[in-house]
Structure 1
Amino acid sequence: MDVKRDIRFRVYLSFTGIVLLAVAIIVKAMMIQVSEGKTLRAQAEKAHTKKETLLPERGNIYSEDGTLLSSTIPQFDLRVDFKAINKDTFKFYLDTLSQCMAKLFGENSADNYKRQLKGAFQNQERYWLIKKNAPYYQYQAVRNFPLFSKGKNKGGFIAEPRSKRVNPYGMLAYRTIGLWRENADNIGLEKRYDSVLCGKEGTRIIRKVTGGTWMPIEGSEVDPVNGRDIVTTIDINIQDAAEHALLDVLTKNNCQYGTAIVMEVKTGKIRALANLGRQADGSYWEDFNYAMIPTEPGSTFKLMSLYSLLEDGYVTINDNVNAQGGVAVFGNQRVVDDHHGLGVISIKKAFALSSNVAFAKLVNQYYHNDPMKYIGHLQHLQLNKRTGIDLAGERGPTIKTTKSRSWNKVTSLPWIGYGYESLITPLHTCMVYNAVANNGKMMKPYLVSAIQEYGLPVQEFKPTVLVESIGKPSTIRQMQQAMRAVVEEGTAKGIKSPYYTAAGKTGTAQVADKGITYTDGVRQGSFVGYFPYENPQYTITVVVRSTPHGAYYGAVVGAPVFKTIADKLYASHIGGWKAQADSLAKQMKLVAKKSTGDHLNTAMAALGFAAPAVTGWNGIVNLQPDSSGRYSLRKTATVKEIVPDVSGMGLRDALFLLESSGLQVSTSGNGKVVSQSLPAGNRIVKGQKIHIQLG
């Protein structure tokens, strides 16, 4: 009996425990459902769903003629989840897949790819890298490969898209255009117009389904808004000419850095903005926007002083000034001319020869008792404020006033008068000179002409007038004449052209910034001018910083850059050549080297001339002068058994002629043919080799 009672007690106790546990579970379930259910359901939903950001396409940057200057290209990290691939399916496609990868990428053999794929499959790798930063065409090819075409769930193919911002023209206008990078301190138009270019992010909700795959929930997408495009005022051909001209002078004279600005006179559009700085290895790169950095301008500032004197009616350019042999003393400081021995000369000549003494004296003489009258003219020329160009990073200028702590009653006025104790950017200088070229109307420099969306303009930027007229017509006219004298008979007469007229001003300044003192021998040479003089189209500003004791005169480092750019602009944009081949050759003093007839036809057509009567003639032709100086075309017969004379020809034509004669050609050097190993006129032996030297 006791045993039965004990067993019964244990049964009742167990049953009671089970009932209590069941009641507790029910109570807990009810509590979870009622009080904690909302929180737990949210946590479960969060573990299985998430919000994904959809990135917009960044807008492009174009030149006005539609040339692409900056764009975003898609790239992909291509990977494989081998756990998603059936074993038999993998074996079936392995050989074909290996061959496809070897053919597309060319980085490994098919056998090597096969070994890699087998090893990754055996290890059941879920994130095996096929190719990093693959371009779009490779992504398209790989997604259609055998096995991978089955998609992510059966073929294991994973493509992770990303974007890469590229400048198709590389360094060309790099500091102006900029190059966008995520989470970076960007530059140029990419930074200034980031809010326009970047667009607006979109979102979508994705849910984890069976197998751990994330799938978008239909209807949850908020589409991204792609960025808009901007159209710049940059002309890529003018930019190219400016950078090459600047680079040539910097390299030749081993300078520190330089900038060249090309502004359209009537509108203020910046057609080119080149900035090149010397790197540690001696090369040059667009490393800084020197056009927006204030420096002491030197003698180009004399135009501002001349403007003040003329506008107040104190002088005319035909009045005389005593240059005192090239030396003047103010307090305990001396002003010295580069041209010694100048005495009493006209103000026009003093400007043309860039007399420091003359302009220091004139400004001091007429404004000594009222310096702020002179400073007021500089402020009227907008030299005390930023130009407002649509680029980030422009630094403010410094124009002293009598209230400035560094103002010296004896020396400040004459020193400012010939280009010191003021800090302005090359853009400021360009803007003022452009106003003179534009008969007094000062235009705001700008770089963006339109914002577009899907090829249609949504905002257009028109030329902006800063000052309707900076001075009286007589003032502007005399300033133009003085600038013309600089090129005709002054410091820049070396850039005179027989084809167009120009006006401008050279400038040279000692430099004392960034730890450099005036005694370190570092100077800044510049030239600012416009052309053609009678109907100005472009204003060009060039500023070059020398190395210690290197070449620095504006006529040496600045004016040649101006002339090279102006020559190319005149030939391509202004000249309007209509002469026939003979008169063109005579006027330009050009002689066409030997070439094949078809190539000459192509060249003549590109220049806009009537094609000579040599169509279909693949022999050699020459442009040869006659006694009257006119040029005529002459065919030169070729005999395949005889070695032709290819001296003076380009490589393409020389190769065509020699190889068509049955010779095996090797070359060295660059340029035109200067010598050939087989003398012209020798009989050709079949299979004979010939070497041509280019130079």
Structure 2
Amino acid sequence: MNIRANILLRVYLSFGLIVLLAVAVLVRLCDVQFVEGAKWRAMADSLSTKYINIEAARGNIYSNDGSLLATSVPEYELHMDVFAGGIQDNDVFYGKVDSLALRLSQFFGDKTPKAYARFLRSARQDTARYLLIKRKVNYQDLKTIRTFPLFNIGKYTGGLIAIQKNKRILPFQALAARTIGYKNVNVANAVGLEGAYSDYINGESGKRLVQRIAGGVWMPVNEEAEIAPKDGADIISTIDINMQDLAQNALEKQLIASDAHHGSVILMEVATGEVRAVANFTRVSKGVYKELFNYAIAGNQDPGSTFKLASYMALLEDKKVDTNTLVNTGNYRIPGHTIRDSHGSIGVVTVKQAFEESSNAAIAELVNTHYKEEQSRFTDHLYDWHLNEKLGLQIPGEAKPVVKNPKNKSWNKNMTLPQMAYGYEMQLTPLKLLSFYNAVANNGRYVAPIFVKEIRRLGNPIEQFKARVVNEKICSDETLGKAKALLEGVFLNGTGRSLASPFYRIAGKTGTAQVADGNRGYKAKKQYQSSFCGYFPADKPKYSLMVTVNDPQGLYYAALVAGPPFREIADRIYASDMQMYNEVTDRLVGNTVSPQAKAGQSKDIKKVYQAFGIKSLYAAKSDYFNSIDTTNGIVFQEYSDVKGYMPNINGMGLKDALYLVGNAGLKAQVKGSGKVFSQSIPAGSKIGKGLSVQIELN
């Protein structure tokens, strides 16, 4: 083969290979474009754009009186697209960037105008499309920022991108904070109303399309959401913000005074079971307490003497004793242990006196004597009263009560029963025990406490809640009457007599219990829980109240430690609740004379009569007038003040009379008290400044 033929062969082979490769590439391009096109386009879209969730505004939580306990407020994260449609032109951007930098510097105060200008110019050079300007900007500030140079060119073309986020705030801060709770993505660890009702409060998330840009940043494609979020529903709680404030202040003050480790207060409305206040504080340092744990619903401990009510009610219901039955106090010996009264023996007394003076020995002897041969009969009462069960609260975290029975492995036939009688060998939460006392106050109707009474969306109720009835009647009316008398006797004659009020009656029981020091038991360190559980007013119960103070230093008796906050809370609620005062019976009879009133300022008289619901027949428009009593309401006589003439002050109180006389330029000499019935210068007489007028009151 000659050289020419050899060269041509090589050229043809090379050209053929090139053509073959080109055909293969073309075939593969067609395959990618037409056969696998949908697959690759979807993958490309998923890498460059995606939908993200937009958090909905969480619903509000309101108190029983309409106060806002928790709400969501919009908070914005501000970004800037330095190549937005309206500012792409360099003349527009660079012509106003310094003015924008000055306004940002003046508004935020975190950088100098020059620093902001360099920051924005550098972003322009780097073609930044999603430059972070500021986080945590409120709505009012955002409205102002929209008026800044460049940003005011247009909502979508000026470069400002505002990403809304929702910030949860508590207007009353620490008040009821633990009960309100907080959002927790871990449902198993839900806290308070926020956690329990998150399905209602959270609302439904929206969707926004975002695009991936340089640096791995995702920028919204559109300013508006593709799917708008649906705001959450509102929760109407049973908490009364004023009562909550009162409960927290009273508890914290006592904890500081006693240098106690922790304590709780629960206030509950007797008839409805609605919880009006829950306070829990734990010592974090000397004299400083914070709400770290909800002891009221999760703090299981030996209830101590406050449990004696249940023991006496079991005895009374089974007719083992009556309130006048005699019993020994002081010491009661059982195998391996002696039960003592801390205040010593008060001799042989009635059951009523033993309860009032909180004798441990007396109740231990009574229960052990009457139930020793049938121990389950005593515990059956406790189980019938559901003291061994959870209340099924609307908020999470409730501890399960521990109430033994003879079938339990830890039951000691010699020791368990008598010690249960005065509140040991069991574990109850403060709210559990309060609910039992509340049942006594509620004439035997045992209701489970509630924290939420209504759920609303856009102001319309979508669900309402009533207290669940645990037991329609816990015992006979006879037992209830005697139990109420025992509880009232504590304040009249017993351990709570120093806390009795002269204005209203209180029923309740003190409790001082030695509690275990964790796993180290009772002997490692003596710790006490002081508690006070009861209701008021005793004759017509409206509220039940439980106060516990744990590990107080120094004095630890309940009447001295838990009693003062109980009395303070009860006093202030009673003083502020007109419905709890003794009602005055309205008696409507013929020829009733309307009450007399002093002449004086018209607006004051009108206000008083309107408050008493008295019909007032007046058309007077002057500032002062006299009132005339009639059987058909109050007729007012208008007073006309003429300058230079003696005013008519007859029938006025001294304050109004002196005001008018002084304005007329007269000097007054006053005699007597009451209202004006005589004036030395007759009304309507011409007068001059400086004259003296004698005013006589009666």
SS in 2 for 1:272: strand
Query: Does 2:36 correspond to 1:31?
Result: no
CA distance in 1, matches of 2:495, 2:445: 27
Structure 1 residue 207: Cα displacement: 6.5
Structure 1 residue 199: Cα displacement: 2.2
User: What is aligned with 1:187?
Assistant: 191
Structure 1 residue 361: Cα displacement: 0.6
User: What is aligned with 1:253?
Assistant: 258
**Cα shift readout 1:588-632 (whole Å, capped 9, x = no counterpart):** xxxxxxxxxx9xx9xx99xx899xx99xxxxxxxxxxxxxxxx99
User: What is aligned with 2:515?
Assistant: 511
Structure 1 residue 516: Cα displacement: 4.6
User: What is aligned with 1:671?
Assistant: none
CA distance in 2, matches of 1:362, 1:69: 49
Structure 1 residue 107: Cα displacement: 4.0
User: What is aligned with 1:545?
Assistant: 550
Query: Does 2:423 correspond to 1:416?
Result: no
Q: 1:314 aligns with which of 317, 320, 326?
A: 320
**Cα shift readout 1:497-538 (whole Å, capped 9, x = no counterpart):** 122111100000001142353231210000011111111000
Query: Does 2:436 correspond to 1:432?
Result: yes
Distance 1:114 1:30, change over 3 A: closer
Distance 1:209 1:4, change over 3 A: same
Structure 1 residue 182: Cα displacement: 5.1
Distance 1:186 1:139, change over 3 A: farther
Distance 1:482 1:578, change over 3 A: closer
Determine if contact 1:82/1:125 at 8 Å carries over to the other structure.
yes
CA distance in 1, matches of 2:220, 2:482: 76
User: What is aligned with 1:619?
Assistant: none
Structure 1 residue 167: Cα displacement: 1.3
Query: Does 2:345 correspond to 1:341?
Result: yes
Task: In structure 2, give the amino acid aligned to 1:480.
Answer: K
Structure 1 residue 307: Cα displacement: 0.5
CA distance in 1, matches of 2:246, 2:180: 17
Query: Does 2:473 correspond to 1:472?
Result: no
Structure 1 residue 368: Cα displacement: 0.5
Query: Does 2:55 correspond to 1:51?
Result: no
Distance 1:107 1:11, change over 3 A: closer
User: What is aligned with 1:406?
Assistant: 410
Distance 1:206 1:277, change over 3 A: closer
User: What is aligned with 1:226?
Assistant: 231
**Cα shift readout 1:564-598 (whole Å, capped 9, x = no counterpart):** 1111111112467899xxxxxxxxxxxxxxxxxx9
CA distance in 2, matches of 1:429, 1:16: 97
Matches within 5 A, 1:372-383: 372-383=376-387
Task: In structure 1, give the amino acid aligned to 2:431.
Answer: L
SS in 1 for 2:96: helix
Determine if contact 2:210/2:218 at 8 Å carries over to the other structure.
no
Q: 2:241 aligns with which of 224, 236, 253?
A: 236
CA distance in 2, matches of 1:446, 1:27: 73
Task: In structure 1, give the amino acid aligned to 2:44.
Answer: A
Query: Does 2:146 correspond to 1:143?
Result: yes
User: What is aligned with 1:199?
Assistant: 203
User: What is aligned with 1:98?
Assistant: 101
CA distance in 2, matches of 1:54, 1:212: 14
Structure 1 residue 454: Cα displacement: 1.1
Structure 1 residue 18: Cα displacement: 5.3
RMSD over aligned CA atoms reads: 3.5
Distance 1:102 1:249, change over 3 A: same
Determine if contact 2:388/2:403 at 8 Å carries over to the other structure.
yes
**Cα shift readout 1:364-403 (whole Å, capped 9, x = no counterpart):** 1110101110001111221100111111111101111112
User: What is aligned with 1:42?
Assistant: 42
Q: 2:503 aligns with which of 493, 499, 503?
A: 499
User: What is aligned with 1:523?
Assistant: 528
- The percentage of counterpart residues that share the same residue type is 40
Structure 1 residue 214: Cα displacement: 5.0
SS in 2 for 1:515: helix
User: What is aligned with 1:89?
Assistant: 92
Query: Does 2:72 correspond to 1:76?
Result: no
**Cα shift readout 1:447-489 (whole Å, capped 9, x = no counterpart):** 0101111111111001322111111111000000010010111
CA distance in 1, matches of 2:59, 2:547: 32
**Cα shift readout 1:121-151 (whole Å, capped 9, x = no counterpart):** 5665555433221222222322332112346
Query: Does 2:317 correspond to 1:274?
Result: no
Q: 2:171 aligns with which of 156, 168, 178?
A: 168
CA distance in 2, matches of 1:110, 1:636: 65
Distance 1:483 1:578, change over 3 A: closer
TM-score after normalising by structure 1:
0.78
Query: Does 2:70 correspond to 1:64?
Result: no
SS in 2 for 1:71: strand
Determine if contact 2:510/2:559 at 8 Å carries over to the other structure.
yes
User: What is aligned with 2:288?
Assistant: 283
Task: In structure 1, give the amino acid aligned to 2:28.
Answer: K
Determine if contact 1:383/1:397 at 8 Å carries over to the other structure.
yes
CA distance in 2, matches of 1:205, 1:109: 35
**Cα shift readout 1:50-97 (whole Å, capped 9, x = no counterpart):** 223232222221112221111122212223344555443333223432
* More off after superposition, 107-116 vs 515-524: 107-116
Determine if contact 2:55/2:165 at 8 Å carries over to the other structure.
no
Determine if contact 1:167/1:179 at 8 Å carries over to the other structure.
no
SS in 2 for 1:560: helix
Determine if contact 1:242/1:272 at 8 Å carries over to the other structure.
yes
User: What is aligned with 1:621?
Assistant: none
Task: In structure 1, give the amino acid aligned to 2:247.
Answer: A
Determine if contact 2:156/2:223 at 8 Å carries over to the other structure.
no
Structure 1 residue 233: Cα displacement: 0.6
CA distance in 1, matches of 2:238, 2:97: 54
CA distance in 2, matches of 1:351, 1:112: 78
**Cα shift readout 1:93-118 (whole Å, capped 9, x = no counterpart):** 23432342244334455455445545
User: What is aligned with 2:593?
Assistant: none
SS in 1 for 2:439: helix
Task: In structure 2, give the amino acid aligned to 1:545.
Answer: N
Distance 1:278 1:441, change over 3 A: same
Matches within 5 A, 1:678-693: none
SS in 2 for 1:301: helix
CA distance in 2, matches of 1:483, 1:577: 21
Distance 1:634 1:319, change over 3 A: farther
Determine if contact 2:514/2:527 at 8 Å carries over to the other structure.
yes
Task: In structure 2, give the amino acid aligned to 1:129.
Answer: L
CA distance in 1, matches of 2:27, 2:521: 87
Determine if contact 1:437/1:536 at 8 Å carries over to the other structure.
yes
Determine if contact 1:94/1:114 at 8 Å carries over to the other structure.
yes
Q: Give the paired residue count.
A: 593
CA distance in 2, matches of 1:238, 1:372: 41
Query: Does 2:377 correspond to 1:358?
Result: no
SS in 1 for 2:279: strand
Q: Tell me, which stretches of 5 or more residues in structure 2 are unaligned?
A: 584-600, 614-622, 625-652, 660-698
SS in 1 for 2:438: helix
**Cα shift readout 1:651-695 (whole Å, capped 9, x = no counterpart):** xxxxxxxxxxxxxxxxxxxxxxxxxxxxxxxxxxxxxxxxxxxxx
Distance 1:636 1:382, change over 3 A: farther
Distance 1:33 1:521, change over 3 A: same
CA distance in 1, matches of 2:461, 2:336: 61
CA distance in 1, matches of 2:257, 2:219: 62
Structure 1 residue 338: Cα displacement: 2.3
Q: 1:558 aligns with which of 562, 565, 577?
A: 562
Determine if contact 2:130/2:219 at 8 Å carries over to the other structure.
no
CA distance in 1, matches of 2:470, 2:282: 31
Distance 1:22 1:332, change over 3 A: closer
User: What is aligned with 2:635?
Assistant: none
* More off after superposition, 7-16 vs 368-377: 7-16
Determine if contact 2:304/2:513 at 8 Å carries over to the other structure.
yes
User: What is aligned with 1:678?
Assistant: none
Distance 1:225 1:512, change over 3 A: same
TM-score after normalising by structure 2:
0.78
Structure 1 residue 156: Cα displacement: 3.2
Distance 1:360 1:634, change over 3 A: farther
